[in-house]
Amino acid sequence: MEQEGKPRRVRLTPGARRVLEAAERLFYEHGIHAVGVDLIAAEAGVTKKTLYDRFGSKEQIVVEYLAGRDERWRDLLAVRLEEAGEGAAARIEAVFEASRAWSERYGAKGCSMINAYAEISDPDHPAYPVITGQKRWMLDLFTGLAREVDAAGADRLARTLMLLHEGALVTHGVGVLPDSFGTALDQVRDLLGR
C-alpha cells in the first residue's frame, strides 16, 4: 500500500538494478523523454520483457531514478548536517557545502529534479510527487533551520535560502558562474551575519 505522498516503489532484483543504473545514467545525460526503453534495456543487458516485468512502465523507472537520487542526497545531507554540529548557521552553510560536493560528483548537468520537472510538469505523472516532494522537503529543512536563527523572520529567511540554493544548482548546471555555490555561500553568510 502506498503512503500518502509517497510513490509506489518496486523491489530491485539484480536485473532491475542494472536497468535502473543504465536508466539513471541515460536520463541524466540525455533527458527523460529522449531515452526510450529499448535503449535502457540494451544498455542494461536485459530484454524489454524483463524491463517491463520488473518496472511495469517507463514512468515507474523514472520514479525509481528520481526517488533513488533523492534518497542518496538526503543520506549525504544527513551526514553533513550531523558533522556541522548544533549551530543552525553552521548547518545552513553545511547544506550549501553538501550541494557543492554532490554537484561536483553527481551533478555536472544540474539538479536532476529541476531537469526532470522541465520534462514532467503534469501533476498526474507518477514521478511528479517525487520532484515536488523533494523541493518541499528542502524548503521545510531551510524553514526549520531558519527558525533556529530568527523565529520572527523564519519564513522570509527560509525562502531566501531556498532561492539561493536552487539558483546555485541551476547556475552550476549551466556553467554560468565559475563557483555558483561559493557565490551563494557568500550571500548566505551575509544573511546570517557571519
d(CA 149, CA 189): 12
Question: What is the reported pLDDT for 121?
Answer: 87
CA–CA separation, 74 and 134 (whole Å): 9
Instruction: Say what the pLDDT of residue 108 is.
Output: 84
Please state the rounded mean pLDDT for residues 132-158: 96
Position 33 scores a pLDDT of 97
pLDDT tens digits along 63-112: 999 999 999 999 999 999 999 988 999 999 999 999 999 998 987 899 99
Q: How far apart are CA 71 and CA 57, in angstroms?
A: 21
Q: How high does pLDDT run on average in the chain? A: 93
pLDDT at 5: 56
34-44: per-residue pLDDT in tens?
Answer: 999 999 999 99
pLDDT at residue number 1: 31
Q: What is the pTM of this model?
A: 0.90
pLDDT over 60 (residue 3): no
Residue 71: what pLDDT?
A: 94
Residues near 127 by beta carbon (within 8 Å), at least 6 away in sequence: 7, 59, 62, 63, 66, 116, 120
| Residues whose CB is less than 8 angstroms from the CB of residue 27 and which lie 6 or more positions away in sequence, other chains included | 35, 62, 65, 112, 116
